[in-house]
Amino acid sequence: MNAKPVARRTVLKAGGTLLLSVLAPQLAHAAQILAVRVWPADDYTRVTLENDSDLKTSHFLVKDPERLVVDIEGLELNPTLKSLVAKIQSNDPYIKQVRVGQNRPNVVRLVFDLKEEVKPQVFTLAPVGNYKHRLIFDLYPVKAVDPIAAMIEKGEWSSDSKSATATTQPAATPAPATTPSSGAQANTAAGPVQPPVGSGTATHPAPPGTADAGANGKPDIAAAKPEPKHEAKPDNKAEQRAETRPGKVTRMITIALDPGHGGEDPGAIGARGSREKDIVLAIAKRLKARIEEHPNMRVMLTRDGDYFVPLPTRVEKARKVDADLFVSIHADAFVQPSARGSSVFVLSEKGASSTAARWLANKENQADLIGGANVKTPDKQLASVLFDLSTTAQINDSMKVGKAVLGEIGGINKLHKGSVEQAGFAVLKAPDIPSILIETAFISNPEEEARLLDNAYQEQIANAIVKGIKSYFAKNPPLAKSRQT
């Protein structure tokens, strides 16, 4: 009489074991969201989901009102992912709010309510450095931000100056610097949103809109173009009168300042926990203020906040404003904490000038891997730049300004090497813009890290760079421009 119940229990037990054997791998391999980060900027807003495995996603856009819908497979909703809702700031240029919900088993849906139409880029990044797998949402405006228009809006660029540069006269020596001045959302579940008929996954790529002269500091007189009239009798008042003379327009000098790293890429980390990206942005802002004290100079920052800009985009931004000079600012680290001193680097076509320069260039060129550039969007301009016939002239001019800047920096800090070094830095590859990379000091050296965090030293390094730039342009006034941007 007990045979049938025993047989039934045996069958049920076997069936349960089989079901668990099927479901267990799925449950064991369910992805976990480890961190969520949001990086709003005028150029674009980035949302990062860091997780312990690669994620499969699909996304589509919905109109009236504008929304981006993202479905993430193999994922269960957890508190970390829910925290994304509170990370959207009210001043985000592109995201109004985000809704997060479990759309169906093992599928989480994110609905981004947008402030305007966007072109999204959704891509994944393999583990690198301290990061695990990352799922990236980059939300770009349909009409890319124009750097010149942005500068006009901020009052940093006159609306008629771009057309004027084609026929203006070379700039006179800039006037001396004046005294420096110190510079929650409700979590609503994301209900099902059906894609409109004919809509696909909008993945259209859109570009954002990422130590060493002579130790004696003497200018490169041999390579300079002499200007005897201006050098013999400098008269700032006379120059100002000439600038205001009817029919004469001063040739404005445009300088692109590039604070390294940013956003997902912190750069080098000091013993005190200070981050390179923060220090170099502070120095760049001080340098911008010092440069703009001169009436014939203006500055474009490749980034003015804590967000990531891919290396090719930094170069392209400088070209879009027709920059006369590109200055990338860093405070790097070395494997040995005893390394110290400031350096200046320019591009090399033939290889690095030292083993240390090669090591540093390779490290800096990995910024896109750490910061998270979409490698599916190739940059043809940078890929072919070393074959451009103008590169040799660019390197020659870069050496001149590098020597002038290094000579001034040597007056306030020990130089890592007494001459300008060369290496294949990707960020220096604008074929038509003199470009230098400045290592202000080693953040990995405890003593120099303390100096980098000091306001007085930041001011000193900014003033030294300005003096070097002035010295270069005094001997090498920029010509009228005819480049196409």
**3-state SS, one letter per residue, for the chain:** CCHHHHHHHHHHHHHHHHHHHHHHHHHHCCECEEEEEEECCCCCEEEEEEECCCCCEEEEEECCCCEEEEEEECECCCHHHHCHHHHCCCCCCCEEEEEEEEEECCEEEEEEEECCCEEEEEEEECCECCECEEEEEEEEECCCCCHHHHHHHCCCCCCCHHHHCCCCECCCCCCCCCCCCCCCCCCCCCCCCCCCCCCCCCCCCCCCCCCECCCCCCCCCCCCCCCHHHHHCCCHHHHHHHHCCCCCCECCEEEEEEECCECCECCCECCCCCEHHHHHHHHHHHHHHHHCCCCCEEEEECCCCCCCCCHHHHHHHHHHCCCCEEEEEECCCCCCCCCCCEEEEEECCCCCCCHHHHHHHHHHCCHHHHHCCCCCCCCHHHHCHHHCCCHHHHHHHHHHHHHHHHHHHCCCCCECCCECEEECCHHHCCCCCCEEEEECCCCCCHHHHHHHCCHHHHHHHHHHHHHHHHHHHHHCCCCCCCCCC
Same domain, yes or no, for 441 and 344?
yes
Tell me, yes or no, whether 4 lies in a domain.
no
Number of domains in the chain: 2
Question: Which CATH number belongs to the domain containing residue 372 in this structure?
Answer: 3.40.630.40
* Among 352, 359, 290, 358, residue whose Cα is nearest residue 327: 290
Same domain, yes or no, for 272 and 340?
yes
Same domain, yes or no, for 133 and 160?
no
| Tokens coding 1 | 């009489």
**CB atoms < 10 A from the CB of 162, how many?**
17
Tell me, yes or no, whether 92 lies in a domain.
yes
Can you name the residues that pair with 104 across neighbouring β-strands? 107
Same domain, yes or no, for 253 and 118?
no
Tell me, yes or no, whether 195 lies in a domain.
no
Same domain, yes or no, for 288 and 306?
yes
Same domain, yes or no, for 172 and 302?
yes
Tell me, yes or no, whether 27 lies in a domain.
no
Farthest-apart Cα atoms in the chain, separation: 120
Last residue within a domain, chosen from 115, 141, 167:
141
Give the chain's residues under pLDDT 50. Answer: 11, 19-28, 159-189, 191-192, 194-248, 377-380, 382-383, 385-387, 389, 482-485
Rounded Cα distance between 334 and 268, Å, is: 9
Residue 100: phi and psi, rounded to 5, are: -125, 130
Question: Which CATH number belongs to the domain containing residue 63 in this structure?
Answer: 2.60.40.3500
Q: At what angle do helices 455-475 and 391-409 cross, to 10 degrees?
A: 130
Tell me, yes or no, whether 219 lies in a domain.
yes
Rounded Cα distance between 221 and 223, Å, is: 6
Instruction: Check residue 172 and give its pLDDT.
Output: 40
Tell me, yes or no, whether 26 lies in a domain.
no
Residues in CB range of 60: below 8 A, 6 or more apart: 68, 69, 195, 196, 199, 200, 201, 202
Same domain, yes or no, for 206 and 309?
yes
- Cis amide bond preceding 65, omega within 30: yes
Same domain, yes or no, for 471 and 337?
yes
Instruction: Check residue 370 and give its pLDDT.
Output: 80
Same domain, yes or no, for 170 and 101?
no
Tell me, yes or no, whether 462 lies in a domain.
yes
334-339: long-range pairs with CB below 8 Å, 24+: 334/442, 334/444, 336/444, 337/271, 337/444, 337/445, 337/446, 338/445, 339/416, 339/442, 339/444, 339/445
Same domain, yes or no, for 114 and 174?
no
Residue whose pair of structure tokens reads 């474009």 in the numeric block: 300
| Tokens coding 36 | 């969520």
Instruction: Find out whether 70 and 61 touch, Cβ atoms under 8 Å.
Output: no
- State in Å, rounded, how far the first CA of the chain is from the last one: 92
Count of positions (residues) in the chain:
485
Half-sphere exposure (CA, 13 Å, Cβ side) for 106? 11
With vertex at residue 71, the alpha carbon angle to CA 67 and CA 76, rounded to the nearest 5 degrees, is 130
Instruction: Check residue 227 and give its pLDDT.
Output: 40
Rounded Cα distance between 436 and 424, Å, is: 12
Same domain, yes or no, for 101 and 225?
no
Q: Strand 33-39 and strand 45-51: pairing?
A: antiparallel
Tell me, yes or no, whether 192 lies in a domain.
no
Q: Which residue range is the domain that position 271 belongs to?
A: 147-182+200-475
Rounded Cα distance between 134 and 123, Å, is: 9
Half-sphere exposure (CA, 13 Å, Cβ side) for 277? 20
For residue 93, give the amino acid letter: P
Same domain, yes or no, for 129 and 174?
no
